[in-house]
Each structure stands twice: as C-alpha cells, then as structure tokens.
Amino acid sequence: MGNSGNNNKAPTVLIADDSSEIRQLLRSSLMMCGCDVLDAVEDGEQALQQLDNLKPDIVFLDIDMPNKGGIELLEIIKSKNIEVFPVIISGYSTIDNLKAAMGSGAQGFVVKPYTQGKIQEVITKYIQTLRDNN
C-alpha cells in the first residue's frame, strides 16, 4: 500500500446491481472514464465475495438488491475495514437514502438514471482522494 507509483494505474472497479441493464451501462460508462471493471455481480453476497477476491479500488453498490443491499454492505465494509472507495447507486434519491449511505461511509451517491458526467465526477473524486492520502 501507499505506492505513489500506482496513480497512473487505471482504477479497478466492482459493480453490484441486480439489473443487468444497469450493470452494462455502468460498465461502459466506467470504461469510458478509463477504469478497469473487474466484475459486475447481481447481489450483495456475490459483491462481498468479489470484494475479498478482487480487492477493487472502487465498488458501486445498488441500495436495493437481493442477499444484502448496498447500505448493509457499506456497514460490512466499514466493520471489516475493507480498503475500497464505496459508491451507492439508487433509483431513489430520497434524503433518507442519501443520509443512510453517507452515514454508513459511502464516498459517493449516484442516482439512476445516471449520466456519463456523474460517473466521471465520482472517478475524479476517487483520484482526488488518492492524491490527498499520499
């Protein structure tokens, strides 16, 4: 860790969303932002496994998905000290959802349907955070 040489490396990403359409859209958006999408899974359990296996830099979590939703996963990520930049994606941008996400350690919150610009903002924020921590 703390290798400042990896700033040139494409950020690695894991996507967790139960909609295959969203997974595909997000995958192409992230690739257009220069990210390396390691996997796209459809439920919370798979996301947890892949977080362990793949150790991505960034994880996009849908709030509502089977076998653990995004907020529950945020809690687990926090309690296990998993080093990842978590971003919540949701079709419902209620204040409650936003507060729950941020309160549980989300670094970003993206509302569906999202735009390329929104995804780029999140990636830029991640890169900014990396720089600040080095």
Write out pLDDT tens, residues 81-115.
999 999 999 887 688 888 889 899 999 999 888 88
63: helix, coil or strand? coil
Q: What pLDDT, on the 0 to 100 scale, is given for residue 7?
A: 52
Q: What pLDDT, on the 0 to 100 scale, is given for residue 42?
A: 97
- Residue 98, burial from CB neighbour count under 10 angstroms (0-12, 13-18, 19+): middle
Q: What pLDDT, on the 0 to 100 scale, is given for residue 96?
A: 87
**Residue numbers in the chain where pLDDT is lower than 50:** 1-6
Whole-number percent of the chain with pLDDT over 90? 73
Q: Set out the domains of the chain in order of their start, with CATH numbers.
A: 11-133 (3.40.50.2300)
Q: What pLDDT, on the 0 to 100 scale, is given for residue 1?
A: 35
Q: Phi and psi of 108, rounded to 5°?
A: -160, 160
- Nearest CA-CA partner of 16 in 83, 73, 91: 73
Tokens at residue 49, please?
């496994």
How does DSSP assign 32-47, residue by residue? HTT-EEEEEESSHHHH
